[in-house]
Amino acid sequence: MAMVHARAVPLPRTPRGFTLVELLVIVVIIALVSATALITFGARGEDQQLETESRRLEQLMNYVREQAELQTREYGLLCRENSYRFVTFDPRRELWVEVADDDILRERRLPEGLSIRLIVEGRPVVLNRPRDEKDLTPHIMIFSNGDLTPFELTLQRESEGPHVTLAADEQGRIARQDEEERRR
């Protein structure tokens, strides 16, 4: 009796899903997108650059206010749409000059996408108007007795995006204002 060898016929391959490598690539892509979102907006959805810059400006303005009182010297804050600098009044020459003896008060540029909106004594200020570069007359005055020009300085991301507003509180210290305080 002759044996007939049955030869196995290969079954057609059916798709079984994703390979391990494909799954790993997808996980890496999701992780990169998530990390970028967390870095940009923080874990609570805050804009980290906006928070950092507003806290820096708040602390610098309070520092300058204290220095003005300690040194009995007039200071000011000169704003542009995307930068700001502190200046001091030189009584001998009777003009505003850059603060040369304190590197903390150097000119600061805001990160891309952030801008300044300023209201002084209840009136909006046009910040990028053409002016003489030698004219350093400030928008906000910080007097040697601790008083300062009434102001609302808003750091914002685009026109209707997130924003933080700084103004003087009842004790004359610069602090953040929430929307309800500003409406009063």
- Of 59, 82, 69, 45, the residue nearest 158 (C-alpha): 82
Distances (CA, A) of 114 to 47, 79, 81: 10, 13, 9
Q: Which amino acid is at 112?
A: E
By residue count, the chain amounts to 184
Name the E strands within 51-94: 75-79, 83-90
Domains of the chain, each with CATH number or no CATH: 48-183 (3.55.40.10)
pLDDT in tens, 36-92: 777 665 554 557 889 999 999 999 999 999 999 999 999 999 998 889 999 999 999
In degrees and rounded to multiples of 5, residue 53 shows phi and psi of -65, -40
CB neighbours of residue 65 within 10 Å = 20
- Work out the mean pLDDT of the chain and round it to a whole number: 83
User: For 16-27, what is each residue's pLDDT tens digit?
Assistant: 777 888 888 888
The alpha carbon torsion through 32, 35, 164, 66 (nearest 10 deg) reads: -130
> What integer pLDDT is reported at residue 18 of this predicted model?
77
The pTM of the full predicted model, rounded to 2 decimals, is 0.70
3-state secondary structure of 8: coil
In angstroms, the Cα distances linking 24 to 11, 16, 88 are: 29, 17, 58
Q: How many CB atoms lie within 10 A of CB 113?
A: 13
Mean pLDDT across the stretch 132-155? 89
